[in-house]
Amino acid sequence: MKIRLAASSGFCFGVRRAIQMALEARENGDEVCTLGELIHNPPIVQELRDKGIEVCPSAESIQNKVVVIRSHGIGKQELETLQQGGNRIIDATCPYVKRAQEIVSSMADYPVLILGDANHPEVMGMLSYGNEQTRVVQEDTDLSEERWQKLCVVSQTTQRLDSLQNLVRKLLPQTLELRVFNTICLATTQRQDAALALAKAADLMIVIGGRNSANTRMLQQLCSAQTRSVQIETEAELSAELFDNVKFVGITAGASTPAEMILKVYNKIKEINRDADTATCSEEIPLFKEESC
């Protein structure tokens, strides 16, 4: 059974940066917490708890602490509440997300449409920086009856580029002045493209990442449209039956998935396949190259 890992899998810059900032704050001996989960990966969040970095559910409950703002960012009102609570704030918001927030804030004279998941913390944060005409839409939201003199469009950083393009294509005939900001993370696009290419060649895709992770769910959707695909959080979810009649397994991982978890999953698949040639580090896992198929 051949096993290949998609390029650009696992931790992105923003996630790696957020974890490092939280750990450095804790090393100083301060009482550290995060407002909401720092990243959408339950095992990593538990590891941070074990190191004394707690998760607080609301800004109102945090007083006189060191608070790390999660990689997804927080809302404008939440930030003000934290400041009023006498907290020392460490902003670990991903720079891509921060840029999107700043763009929404700067478009005060425009109606703003945010392409994304209205229930995701990143989008909720972006929405808080907008005006009364700022709202969240999906690619398939019916906007056919609406007209604008001017309009601004931005996107959740983990959306597909073609989804943004499709939305803009629909809006252009209905708008005299349309300003579009591509706020999609480059690393996200590269990860999605690599996973999609691998899924087209594989008999089975294993997508590793938290079930509450938007970018991991997007990977699962893309892969499942091409081949049989299973999303898991840890290697414990793998079973021998999953690989019956499978000759080519592809692996990809969301932006909140550490290299250690990718390695564990790879070696578990090897173990199930009774292959003793396991890897000792993630760099030893063979990457997928389209020309090899």
Q: Which amino acid is it at 124?
A: M
How far apart are alpha carbons 231 and 220 in whole angstroms?
6
How far apart are alpha carbons 275 and 264 in whole angstroms?
14
Q: Facing residues of 3 across strands?
A: 249
The helix/strand count (H/E) of the chain reads as: 9, 12
Alpha helices, H only, the chain:
13-27, 42-50, 76-84, 95-106, 121-128, 161-171, 186-201, 214-224, 259-272
Provide the CA 37 distance to its chain's centre, in angstroms: 13
Q: Which amino acid is it at 221?
A: Q
How far apart are alpha carbons 38 and 20 in whole angstroms?
11
Decide if 129 contacts 104 (C-beta within 8 A): yes
Catalytic site residue 37?
A: no
Catalytic residue among 24, 27, 78, 122: 122
Looking at beta carbons, which pairs linking 105-112 to residues 24 or more positions away fall under 8 Å?
Answer: 105/129, 105/130, 107/131, 107/152, 107/179, 109/150, 110/150, 110/151, 110/152, 110/179, 111/148, 111/150, 111/151, 111/152, 112/151, 112/152, 112/153, 112/154
- Which residues are marked as active site? 122
